[in-house]
């Protein structure tokens, strides 16, 4: 009996030890393991993936897209100087995966791959293809599909394992990507990547006034992020194949910032397709391209971008720059006004509106994810209203992209009195926003459409009318590209976004265009995520 009890006791101890070991395995922070991340990167056949998408997308070679930024001395594209810092090697991926399993003491590693369902067919196809590649390497993959707003919320909360996400460059400089992954950027660094080496490289690049040194530091920083740490894994750069009705012109595509639909001519009433809806009307809360594009229609900044991506005056009639390049003085147009939904002028646009705007976006209570736009991108040190129509900004140091970046909605003015009047309802509907841009938001039916009507009180609209400008622009939300194509062919849409087989079938159709967008899709790996 004693012998039997001893055997049973030993068995219980062994079982308890196994249970403890299994619990430890379940609670392992899987993605802290570098081999886990390396295997993911090596497993993805980026060239084959973009052939599957067949929409003009190209395989990513690094975290900085093609045709975004050029060497300040030679004019070479960043990608030409950086070279390819990602590698496809399925055998190496399997080897690294097996090694990671051994290091973690597990038989298999599960990846919950998060992606957006209402972000276009290409995203769904890419997620499915990536899942296949990872399973070929040995991972068990669960595809987790969410609407974009929920996907962004999960990323913000760190409640995900791996996410197929994207970033659209807000300005044409490597910094727009490099800043995403510094440890102090809690808004965008969803995976909580933390590297002293990377942080220092980026900080040194942003501190120096030597443009060649800055360029070299960014090149090195990308290699650390992508090729050494595999913290965020580049996949593909988005293409854009579409048909635009031949009689329409004036749509301006930009590789950085947002595309411009403010100057469409050739037809009085225009209906454009979009595969995603507005998320936020508030220019200090929005973080997505669709919302920003909508805001540039009914709001305006001190400057705007022309068809070539160069700045030109908008609400600022004149710009004066100090000799040392650190003090900018803007004279705001006398005919710049705020109007309500009915097109009635409710107040002039003043210098104080810009002061209030920049103060608001930095307010900790608002917790804007674009607060860094003012301090880290514009490099603004102080700002003031000299008088009703004179806005003065002092920079920390000269900033060659300052005037271009003022064309981004985060730097647009606000009408503080109206916001306070609306309270919690501000920017929740067409009735609760004001306009100071070329259009007025006439209606917004979430999930279906949003409509812009001509703002007769916008200073430049007389010339726009004379050129045949559109008096009404409707954005129709259609996620399914086949439905959108049928609507275009029926004459109900003036543009359509193509994907897959639609591209080859419509290349000879009048109005077909394709381009390489600035959007870079990558896998955000939540390094602190507990896996199986």
- List the chain residues with pLDDT less than 70: 1-28, 530-532
The answer to whether 330 touches 359, Cβ cutoff 8 Å, is: no
The SS3 call for residue 59 is strand
What would the pLDDT profile of 141-162 be if each residue is shown by its tens digit?
999 999 988 999 999 899 999 9
pLDDT the model gives residue 466:
81
C-alpha closest to that of 179 among 394, 311, 373, 31: 373
DSSP category for residue 303: E
* DSSP one-letter string for 237-258: EEEEEEEE-TT-B--B--SSS-
What would the pLDDT profile of 19-33 be if each residue is shown by its tens digit?
333 333 344 589 999
pLDDT the model gives residue 531:
55
29: left (phi over 0), alpha (psi -120 to 50) or beta: beta
pLDDT the model gives residue 28:
54
pLDDT the model gives residue 27:
41
CA–CA separation, 124 and 143 (whole Å): 10
- Residue 392 CB-half CA count within 13 A: 8
Q: Find all residues with CB under 8 Å of 125, minimum gap 6, and list them.
A: 52, 53, 499, 500
Which fold, 246-310+336-347+399-493? D-Maltodextrin-Binding Protein; domain 2 (3.40.190)
Every domain of the chain and the residues it spans: 27-238+520-525, 246-310+336-347+399-493
pLDDT the model gives residue 25:
36
CATH class given for the domain over 27-238+520-525: alpha beta
In the chain, what is the straight-line distance between the N-terminal and C-terminal CA atoms, in Å? 41
The residue assigned the tokens 């004036």 is 250
pLDDT the model gives residue 187:
80
């Amino acid at each position: 009996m004693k012998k039997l009890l001893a055997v049973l006791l030993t068995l219980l101890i062994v079982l308890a030890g196994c249970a403890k070991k299994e619990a430890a395995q379940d609670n392992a922070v899987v993605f802290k393991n570098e081999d886990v991340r390396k295997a993911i990167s090596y497993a993805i056949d980026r060239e084959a993936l973009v052939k599957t998408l067949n929409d003009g997308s190209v395989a990513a070679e690094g975290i900085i897209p093609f045709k975004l930024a050029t060497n300040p001395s030679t004019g070479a594209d960043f990608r030409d100087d950086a070279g390819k810092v990602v590698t496809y090697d399925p055998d190496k991926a399997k080897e690294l995966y097996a090694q990671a399993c051994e290091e973690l003491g597990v038989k298999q590693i599960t990846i919950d791959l998060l992606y957006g369902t209402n972000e276009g067919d290409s995203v769904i196809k890419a997620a499915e293809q990536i899942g296949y590649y990872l399973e070929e390497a040995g991972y068990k993959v669960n595809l987790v599909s969410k609407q974009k707003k929920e996907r962004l919320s999960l990323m913000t909360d760190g409640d995900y394992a791996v996410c197929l996400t994207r970033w659209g460059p807000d300005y044409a400089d490597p910094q727009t990507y490099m800043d995403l992954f510094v440890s102090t950027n809690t808004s965008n660094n969803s995976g909580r990547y933390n590297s002293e080496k990377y942080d220092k490289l980026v900080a040194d690049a942003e501190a120096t006034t030597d443009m060649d040194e800055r360029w070299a530091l960014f090149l090195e920083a990308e290699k650390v992020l992508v090729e050494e740490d595999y913290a965020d894994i580049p996949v593909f750069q988005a293409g854009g194949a579409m048909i635009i009705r031949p009689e329409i012109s004036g749509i301006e595509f930009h590789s950085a910032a947002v595309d411009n639909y403010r100057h469409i001519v050739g037809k009085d009433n225009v209906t454009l397709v979009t595969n995603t809806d507005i998320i936020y009307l508030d220019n200090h809360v929005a973080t997505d391209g669709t919302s920003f594009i909508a805001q540039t229609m009914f709001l305006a900044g001190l400057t705007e971008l022309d068809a070539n991506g160069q700045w030109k005056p908008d609400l600022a009639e004149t710009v004066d720059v100090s000799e040392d390049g650190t003090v900018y003085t803007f004279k705001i147009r006398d005919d710049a006004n705020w109007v309500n939904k009915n097109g009635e002028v409710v107040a002039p646009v003043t210098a104080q509106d810009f002061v209030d705007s920049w103060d608001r976006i930095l307010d900790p209570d608002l917790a804007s994810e674009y607060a860094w736009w003012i301090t880290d991108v514009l490099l603004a040190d102080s700002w003031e209203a000299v008088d009703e129509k004179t806005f003065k900004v002092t920079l920390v140091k000269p900033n060659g992209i300052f005037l271009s970046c003022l064309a981004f909605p985060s730097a647009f003015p606000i009408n503080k009195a109206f916001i306070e009047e609306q309270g919690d309802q501000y920017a929740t509907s067409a009735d609760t926003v004001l306009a100071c841009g070329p259009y007025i938001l006439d209606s917004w039916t979430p999930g279906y459409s949003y409509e812009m009507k001509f703002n007769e009180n916008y200073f430049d609209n007389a010339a726009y009318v004379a050129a045949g400008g559109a008096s009404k622009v409707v954005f129709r939300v259609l996620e399914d590209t086949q439905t959108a194509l049928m609507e275009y062919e029926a004459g109900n849409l003036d543009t359509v976004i193509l994907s897959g087989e639609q591209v080859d079938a419509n290349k000879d159709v009048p109005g077909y265009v394709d381009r390489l967008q600035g959007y870079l899709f990558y896998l955000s790996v939540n390094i602190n995520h507990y896996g199986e």
